[in-house]
Structure 1
Amino acid sequence: MTSYKLVALDLDGTTLTEDKRISDETRYWIKRAMEAGVTVIFSTGRGMQTASIYWDDLQLEVPMVMLNGAEIWKGPGQLWERHYLSRQEIRNLHKLAVDAGAWFWGYSVESLTGAREWTEEMFERDWLKFGIRHDDLPTIAKLREDAAACGNLEITRSADINMEVTRQGVSKEYGVRKVCELLGIGMHEVMAIGDHHNDMLMIQAAGWGVAMGNAEEELKRAADAVTDTNEQDGVARAIQRYVFGLEPQPLTPDKTGTYQRGDARSIT
């Protein structure tokens, strides 16, 4: 075993396959890590509205970092922190999106709301994260610049064609640091795995930062290591290698269809 006591996992493009599943092999190694005493958490841009199904699926009774750090949970049903954008900031971001003809969405306490459902009443809600998407790369780049000029905002992205906005200083790194405080461990004891720009600060701050094989090149350069893609069980491979010190081996189903661990070899 290594010294990592916490594994922080991004969801989309990392733990999840392209069809939004957790593969059998990834599921197996997450559970193996938990059984070995390693805390495995999600650190995701998703909110509870769309992430809780995976939390429930794996039956994890652990903290979670949601909405790029804007919402932190001690465990299921145990909210710890929320960090809100101001209502004026939401109006400013909404105007930027509408003026550019861009798709937009927001996570409030009450809902995940897209452009089609947005009404004037939405400006009276408390919003934790606001997202904008535009398929034209120069346009979305300009929108990021315009949002940054407003000040007091944390601006990142989970794809080249979008931007995700939280309150300044709120990020996945912030969320994972808070979880470390809760658990009484240091960031040097964390392995973090992700695939895009909103994982950058977390990857750089962790004791061991791992970029997925399908990650953007900038993140790969910043990471300590690069694992396989999300379609090729990159999370499972990273847990085998860096938590257990094993040469990654695939799982193979037995005659009943149950997956068994292959003959993993220790790395010497």
Structure 2
Amino acid sequence: MQKLVAIDLDGTFLNENYTISSLHADTVKKAQKKGAQIVIATGRAQFDVQRLFHDQDLSAWVIGANGATTYDPDGTLTLPLPLKTVYAKEIVRWLAEENYYFEIVTDKEIFITSNAKQLLEDEMDIVQQADKEEMKKAKERQLGQANMKEIDDYMRVFQAEKDIYKVTIVSFDEERRRVAADTLGKNDLNLYSSADFNMEIVDGQASKGHALKKLANKLDIKKDDIIAIGDSMNDLPMLEAAGTKVAMGNATDEVKEACDYTTDTNEENGVATMLEREILKRKD
């Protein structure tokens, strides 16, 4: 029976240096040769995932932007769920007025305003309650994404009539993140956190779980034949959609409690351990 394996990216498939280990890459390729359908499910944009794939010559389905996009292994967008324009405008207008760092994510680029980098630097200088080294790593992660473009005025994105799949907020100030969540939260929107210090806003129907169910239906794969593995709270909808739920060794306690078992950490190649158990060593 064909299996569909959904794998989270940061904290799961990636190590602490935000790269894919050769063991993880090789084990995925072996699982694919055995007939498994592999999907990377992440808050990142698909083109950023492809940048990571390139070094290891990988190809897979990609659920990006926390379920707002799904791409086939050839890179074709198949199941889009863009933000409603009226909501996207409200969100970015408020963020700009309140001097938040934010990213506007389309299917081709990540747009930031020309003062965005300085906003992150200013927060790092002001905020005392967060670890300085962790803030530095978070800043490098955000600014190291693929296809980032600076613009003078965020309205240029709307004038170009581009579909917006996600707006990402990064703040090192816990209170500012809470205020943003309280202000921008709506019934027609989903808010996720996929990394320290960030918040991601997508369409209300978008989640890794919803996208995984639609992909499974497209591939005619039943829930019992879906395996999902993750480490963070935004992985819970994806794990709920799977017949076999696996937590990383570095997962939060809530994720571990929701799963059938816990594998090794991302630094210990926990995805490879899971694929060996669930795909490569199985006789069926």
Which bin holds the TM-score, normalised by the shorter protein? 0.7 to 0.9
Q: 1:31 aligns with which of 29, 34, 40?
A: 29
225 and 97 in structure 1: CA distance in 2 versus 1, 3 angstrom threshold: farther
Corresponding residue number in structure 2 for 1:169: 205
TM-score, reference length from structure 1 = 0.83
**Residues 45, 66 of structure 1: 8 Å contact kept:** yes
Alignment of 1:230-249 (within 5 A): 230-245=266-281
Corresponding residue number in structure 1 for 2:158: 123
**1:35 Cα offset (Å):** 1.6
Corresponding residue number in structure 1 for 2:93: 95
Question: Over aligned residues, Cα RMSD in angstroms?
Answer: 2.2
**1:179 Cα offset (Å):** 1.4
Q: Which has the higher contact order (CA 8 A, sep 6+)?
A: 2
Deviates more, 1:202-211 or 1:93-102: 93-102
**1:112 Cα offset (Å):** 1.0
Q: Give 3-state SS (helix, strand or coil) of 2:72's partner.
A: strand
Report the identity percentage.
31
Provide the C-alpha distance between the structure 2 equivalents of 1:4 and 1:79, rounded to a whole number of angstroms: 23
**1:158 Cα offset (Å):** 0.4
Corresponding residue number in structure 1 for 2:5: 7
Q: 1:144 aligns with which of 181, 184, 206?
A: 181
**1:236 Cα offset (Å):** 0.8
Provide the C-alpha distance between the structure 2 equivalents of 1:137 and 1:15, rounded to a whole number of angstroms: 27
Question: Displaced runs of 4+ in structure 1, greater than 6 A?
Answer: none
TM-score, reference length from structure 2 = 0.78
**Residues 69, 172 of structure 1: 8 Å contact kept:** yes
**Residues 249, 270 of structure 2: 8 Å contact kept:** yes
Provide the C-alpha distance between the structure 2 equivalents of 1:208 and 1:92, rounded to a whole number of angstroms: 39
Letter in 2 for 1:65: I
Corresponding residue number in structure 2 for 1:187: 223
1:142-167, Cα deviation, whole Å (9 max, x unpaired): 3112221x331011110242111111
- Size of the alignment, in residue pairs? 244
**Residues 2, 37 of structure 2: 8 Å contact kept:** no
Provide the C-alpha distance between the structure 1 equivalents of 2:103 and 2:258, rounded to a whole number of angstroms: 29
Letter in 1 for 2:176: T
**Residues 47, 108 of structure 2: 8 Å contact kept:** no
**1:14 Cα offset (Å):** 0.9
Q: Give 3-state SS (helix, strand or coil) of 1:144's partner.
A: helix
Query: Is the strand fraction higher in 1 or 2?
Result: 1
1:205-241, Cα deviation, whole Å (9 max, x unpaired): 2111112122222222222222211111011111122
Letter in 2 for 1:210: V
* Structure 2: tracts of 5 or more residues without a match: 115-149
Letter in 2 for 1:24: S
Q: Give 3-state SS (helix, strand or coil) of 1:20's partner.
A: coil
